[in-house]
Structure 1
Amino acid sequence: MKELVTVIVPILEPQINPTEEKLLHHALQILSDYQFIFVAGEGADLSVVREHAENIDVVHFPKRYFESRQHFGQLLLMADFYEHFNWCDFLLIHELNSWVVKDELHYWCKQGYDYIKAGPVLADPDKTPGILKRITGLSEEEKRVYGAGYADNGLYLCRIERMTATLKGKKSVAHQYRHNADIPNADSVFWHLEANRFLSHLRKPTDIVRSHFAQFGVQYDNAATSPFALTGISRDNIHEIPYFKNLPETE
C-alpha cells in the first residue's frame, strides 16, 4: 500500500539563512508524523539542516536545479521529479518561505484535489486573467506579471499521478515554460494557467477553499479561522508580519 503523503523540502544554494532555519525547525516539529525528504543539488552542504534533524533522507538532483528558485522551478516542471516519489500518493512541497499553522495535512489530502496552492499577489488585482483570457492565452508580458505574483510562494500539495500525467500530456507546453527564463516562477504559472487550459487535467479548489489552505503572511490578519499554512515569508518581512509578532518566544 502506498504512503499517503511525503513532505519535500528543497535546499537551494547557498546555505540557508536564520529565517529559513526557523521555518525548517517549525516544519519538522508540527509535521513530525510525516516523512520528510530533503532534495538538494549533488554535493550540497547540509550541515545546517542536520543540526535540526540528524538522520535525514536526502534525494540529490543535478546541482544546476538548486542554483536559484528559478532553476528549481524547472525541476518542478519535469515528470521525472514527481515519479521519483511515486511510492506515495501526495507530495507537500514545502519551500523554506512557508509556515504550517496547524497540522491539517491529512485532511487536505482527503479533499479530492490534485493541486492546491495559494494564488498570486498581483500589484493590480484587477488584472487577474478571467476565464476567457485563460483560454485564449496570456501574452509574454502578462505571464511575467502573473509569475512575479508568486514570489516566495513555495508551498503546495499535489497528487503525484495527476501531476505526471499532466506533464506528459502537455509535454511541449511544459518544455516551453521550463526553458523560458523571462517568466519568474514559471512552474506556478504553468500549473495555474496551462494545466487546465482547453481540457481539465487537475482538480483544483475554488479561491475561497484555497484561502483556507494557504495565505500570504503579509495579508493574514489573525482571523478567528486560520489557514493550514502561511507563505510569502522571508527574512525581509518576517518581523513585520503580525502573526509572528504574537508567537511565543519558544517558536
Structure 2
Amino acid sequence: MKELVSVLIPILDPQINPTEEKLLHHCLETLEKYPLIFVTFEGADLSIVREHNEDIDVIYFPKKYFESRDTLSQLFLLEDFYEHFNWSEFLLIHELNSWIIRDELHYWCKQGYDYLRADPFFGGSRNVGENPFARLGGLKEEEKRLIGQGYTDNGLYLCRIEQMTKTLKNKRKEAHQYRHGNLPKADAVFWDLEANRFWPNLRKPTAIVRQYFAQNAHNLDQSKNLPFAITGISRANIQSLSYFKTLPEAE
C-alpha cells in the first residue's frame, strides 16, 4: 500500500545558514509523522542536518543538479525524479525557505488537486501573464522570466506524482526546452504556464484556495486565517516578518 505523502527536503549547500537551520528544525518537528527524505548530491556532508536528526533518509542525485536553484529546476522537470518516489501518492517539496504553520498536510492531499503552490510575488505590481488568452498563445521570453522571478524563494509545493509524470510525458518537448533554457525557477514557470496549456493535465486550485494553502512571506495577511504554510523566507527578511515576531521565544 502506498504512502499518502512523503516530504522531500532538497539540500543545495550542506552548510546551511542559521535561518535555514531554524526552518529545518521546525519542519522535522511539525511533519515528523510523515516520511521525510533529504535530496542532495553524492558526498554531501550533512553533519549539520544530522545534528537535528541522526537517522535521516537521504537520496542522492548527480551533483550537477545542485550547483544552484536554477540547476535544481532541471531535476524537478525530469520524469525519473518523480518516478523515483512512486511508493508515495504525493510529494511535498519543502525547500528551506518555507515554514509550516500547522499540520494540514493530510487535508490538502485529500482535496482532489494535483499541484498546489503559493502564487508568485511581483512586489505589488500587476501580475504578469494573468491574461488567459495571452497564456494560451504563449508568453514572450521576458514575460516568462518575470514570472520566474516572481517565484524566487517560493520553495514549497504539493504534487500528485502520477499526474506530474504523465504531464512531463505529454509535454516532453516543452519540458526539454525549459530544462535547457535559462529561465529563473524554470520548473515553477513550466508548471504555471505549460502544464495546462491546451489541455488540463493537472487539477489546480483557484487563487483563493491557493491562499489557504500557502502565501509568500512578503504578502502574508495576518488579519485573516493563516494558511497551511509560508514561503519566501530568507536570512535577509526573517527578522522583519511580523509572523516571526509574534512567535514564542521557544520557536
**TM-score class, shorter:** over 0.9
Equivalent position of 2:246 in the other structure: 246
2:120 corresponds to which residue? 120
2:159: which partner in 1? Answer: 158
| Alignment gaps of 5+ in structure 1 | none
Deviations 1:186-238 (A, max 9, x none): 10000011000000100000000000000011221323411000000000000
Q: Distance in 2 between matches of 1:18 and 1:220?
A: 22
Quote the Cα distance in structure 2 between the aligned partners of 1:126 and 1:150: 12
Q: Which residue of 2 aligns with 1:129?
A: 130
Given that 1:101 and 1:230 are in contact with CA atoms closer than 8 Å, whether structure 2 keeps it comes out as yes
Question: Where does residue 58 of structure 1 map in the other structure?
Answer: 58
Mapped partners of 1:81, 1:172: distance in 2: 17
**Counterpart Cα distance in 1 of 2:40 and 2:247:** 30
Q: CA deviation at 1:128?
A: 3.7
Equivalent residue for 2:217? Answer: 217
Q: Which residue of 1 aligns with 2:26?
A: 26
SS in 2 for 1:218: helix
SS in 2 for 1:226: coil
Secondary structure in structure 1 of the residue aligned to 2:219:
coil
Q: Deviations over 1:154-202 (max 9, x none)?
A: 0000000000000011001000000112x10010000011000000100
Q: Are the equivalent residues in 2 in contact too, given 1:221–1:242 (CA < 8 A)?
A: no
Query: Do the aligned partners of 1:195 and 1:202 also contact (CA within 8 Å) in 2?
Result: yes
Cα deviation for residue 64 of structure 1 reads: 1.0
User: Whole-Å Cα distance in 1 between the matches of residues 241 and 67 of structure 2?
Assistant: 28
Label 1:160 to 1:126 Cα distance change in 2 as closer, same or farther (>3 A).
Answer: closer
Amino acid corresponding to residue 200 of structure 2 in structure 1 = S
CA 1:126–1:20 in structure 2 vs 1: closer, same or farther (change >3 Å)?
Answer: closer
* CA deviation vs aligned residue, 1:30-81 (integer Å, no higher than 9, x gap): 1111110000011111000000111000000001111111111110000000
Q: Percent identity?
A: 64
Alpha-carbon separation, structure 2, partners of 1:249 and 1:179: 45
CA distance in 1, matches of 2:151, 2:61: 24
Query: Which residue identity lines up with residue 26 of structure 1 in the other structure?
Result: H
Q: Could you tell me which residue of structure 2 aligns to residue 144 of structure 1?
A: 145
How is 1:63-78 mapped onto 2 (pairs within 5 angstroms)? 63-78=63-78
TM-score scaled by length of structure 2: 0.98
Deviation at 1:126, TM superposition (A): 4.6
1:30–1:100 contact (8 Å) kept in structure 2:
yes
Query: Larger deviation: 124-133 or 41-50?
Result: 124-133
Of 11-20 and 76-85, deviating more is: 11-20
d(CA) in 2 for partners of 1:247, 1:105: 21
SS for the counterpart of 2:22 is helix
SS where residue 82 of structure 1 aligns? helix
| 1:5-31 C-alpha deviation (Å, 9 max, x unpaired) | 000000002511110000000001011
CA RMSD of aligned residues (A): 0.9
Using structure 1 for the length normalisation, give the TM-score.
0.98
Moved segments of 4+, more than 2 Å: 126-129
Q: Write the letter of the residue equivalent to 1:21.
A: E
2: distance between equivalents of 1:177 and 1:102? 34
Counterpart-to-counterpart distance in 1, 2:55 and 2:14? 21
